[in-house]
Amino acid sequence: MSDTEAVLSSYLDHLAVERGLAANTLASYRRDLLRYVDHLKTRGLTRFGDVAEADVVAFLAALREGDERHRALVASSTARAVSAVRGLHRFALREGAAGHDPAHEVRPPRRLRRLPKAIGVAEVERLIAAAGPDGQPLTLRNRALLEVLYGTGARISEAVGMAVDDAEPEQVRLRGKGGRGRVVPLGRYARQALDAYLVRARPALSAHGRGTSALFLNARGGRLTRQGAWEVLQAAAERAGLDGVSPHMLRHSFATHLLDGGADVRVVQELLGHASVTTTQVYTLVTVDKLREVYAAAHPRARR
């Protein structure tokens, strides 16, 4: 057994006995670290005292690239393996098996930030147009709900939590996370859809119930639930031929379309009810991608 293998065996025993790692976690560490020790062997290294930072960095690159025996790892799996390697070198230093820690400055790759998904304006129009058969009370409710979700960026819980008094002629009041309230302007389409629902549909739906101040009602006259609102959206999306549409996607679309239209990110922050502008700034990444696409397609010196 080589020096690196002996230290690795001791480290795995340490993780199992003293740290009490779960069996699955320990198995993942063992797999990653056996691959690391094998990587060191191919570089002629059998003692941790001889390992340099460049050797650890090379292992990081090998994880991401893969080879004939190993598939390339995604960022999250690579980060786990690098974390295991860093722990192994700290252990080797502490146990006197090495005089330095070559992995100390090696950082795992950042996980790619998942950008919010949005649908285009034309797809939003198709979705709302597919609210249901014209003239029926539930169709008027569905169209008003979809217009409010997209027109205000409301979370689904905020939309179904609205009372009739929260819908004013030019704006709506929404109650967000932590009880934070905000006022969001209503666009013309949302105002028209809400007016039609309140005048021509809500009274008929309310007659089936016991009376409630909720804005959006179900067929029995009670408050529309989150699940009921979700089903409204899914049914409209299916009729419109759109896949994977969610209430949060309409919220993302609201923010993205505002920024594409030139809105300031802090204004969008207020409209979305984000406590920090940092949360809102993820949407600017989407619009930067859009700018790149437009630039690449339109600028004569950008074409290849």
The tokens for 295 are: 């630039």
Geometric angle at alpha carbon 159, from 145 and 236, rounded to 5°:
30
Q: How far apart are CA 44 and CA 52, in angstroms?
A: 12
Q: In this structure, what token pair is assigned to residue 152?
A: 């205000």
Q: Per residue in 253-274, is it b (16+ CB within 10 Å) or e — as a string? A: bbbbbbbbeeeebeebbebbbb
Return the active site residues: 155, 177, 248, 251, 274, 283
Give alpha helix (H) positions in the chain. Answer: 3-17, 23-42, 53-65, 75-94, 121-129, 137-152, 156-160, 188-200, 202-206, 226-240, 247-260, 265-272, 277-280, 282-298
Helices 226-240 and 247-260 pack at an angle, to 10 degrees, of 70
How far, in Å, CA of 171 to CA of 176, rounded? 16
CA gap 230, 213 in Å, rounded: 21
The answer to whether 242 touches 119, Cβ cutoff 8 Å, is yes
**What is the bridge-based pairing of β-strands 181-185 and 171-175?**
antiparallel
User: What is the Cα–Cα distance from 169 to 172, expressed in whole angstroms?
Assistant: 8
Distance, in Å, from the CA atom of 215 to the CA atom of 237, rounded to the nearest integer, reads: 23
